[in-house]
Amino acid sequence: MARRFGAWIRYGDPVTQVQLEFAAAHYRVAVLQPWEVDAAAWLKDVRPDLTVLAYACLSSTRSYEPGPVYSSGVCFEEAEEAGEHWFAHRLDGSRIEWSGYPGHWAMATWDPDYRQRWCDNVADFLHEAPFDGVMADNDIYDDYYALDPPLEGGRTMPDLRAALDRLVTAAGKRLNAMDRLLVPNIAEARREPGRWARHAAYGGGFEEVWLAWSPTDFLDPRTALAQMDQLTGPGLSIVRVATDGTDTHPNVRYGLAAFWVFGGGGDAAFTATGHDAYSGTPYVPELDWDLGQPVEQPQQRGNGWSRDFTGGWAAVNLNSGRRRSITYAVPPGLLDEHGEPAPRRIAVEPHHGVVLRRR
């Protein structure tokens, strides 16, 4: 069976049958809303090797969701019934609605009862569901939603990170015991040595901000390199680079080239989308290519990197300066995305990449 490397992050508008058929043909992993049970079952029937994960938020509950299935581990009504202590509060005692996301309420991830209920609810849901596990969103590192710490009890961002450490560990052990995966969206793991390996230990990890914050706001070379070990596990690594929402944006091939150069074709999946644009089927022809096994380690030229494979070749330029292109001598016998012979030399511009395959 052909190896696939695409990630379908798909928790926006309702899924269509046309999209499901496309996903079965082109992707390695799919992340769906938990109520997309029929879609998950169809994918697993057609592609048993495709990993299908349900979305589940670790850090918020959503007051706008009607149910009976919810995108948070603990739904809004259940949290209110449990008592105010399951909600996070500011120092003045008010609940915290996430900035930019109306109806998303910050939860008290430090509360042991909340963490236990999150694990219980997700485990109960997965017991009969066709999903292979969950993608646990908002394993946050910094203050992305204007929480504005300190929170009640003087809690700071390090306190929130420590609470998520405990929640991820508890949930991971619980789901692994029932042969299910936990794949957290591990924000900015590069900023804390060991965090990626620790949080990905129960099935894998998702890096939603890989190489770039936006279509035009890039990580500098040193920071980008700090993310690259995320491609090699543990478990399934999912990485997403930001684009303007089109498949023609340069970041698509920039990210895919880095995916191959530094990941070496391991157990990982790649996608490129616009901001919160999780309703489509991102795709370029190179996403279907299996470059085979690496025949060398990544080769460095300044902030440019390349790597040769049994079935192809890839090069990526991490430079930030606009004029710092790097010209590579292309190995013989390679083809581009149109099936045409690749040129003998290719100039790779900053924040661009190239992926070529053998005949």
Mean pLDDT by 10 residues, the chain (359 residues): 94 96 98 98 98 98 97 97 97 97 98 98 97 98 97 98 98 98 97 96 98 97 97 96 97 98 96 96 96 97 97 96 90 95 96 96
Give CA separation, 241 vs 22, 154, 207, 250, in Å. 21, 35, 9, 11
**Residue position matching structure tokens 């169809």:** 42
Cβ neighbours of residue 170 closer than 8 Å, sequence gap 6 or more:
115, 116, 119
Domains of the chain plus CATH, in order, are 6-288 (3.20.20.70), 290-359 (2.60.40)
Backbone angles phi, psi at 247, to 5 degrees: -75, -10
pLDDT confidence of residue 171: 98
pLDDT confidence of residue 233: 87
Burial letters 30-43, b for 16+ CB under 10 A, else e: bbbbbbbbebbebb
Q: Is 35 helix (H, G, I), strand (E, B) or coil?
A: coil
Predicted model pTM = 0.96
What is the DSSP annotation of 279-328? SS----GGGG----SBSSPPEEETTEEEEEETTEEEEEE---STT--EEE
The Cα 256–Cα 48 span in angstroms is 25
Residue 21 CA, chain-centre distance (Å), reads 22
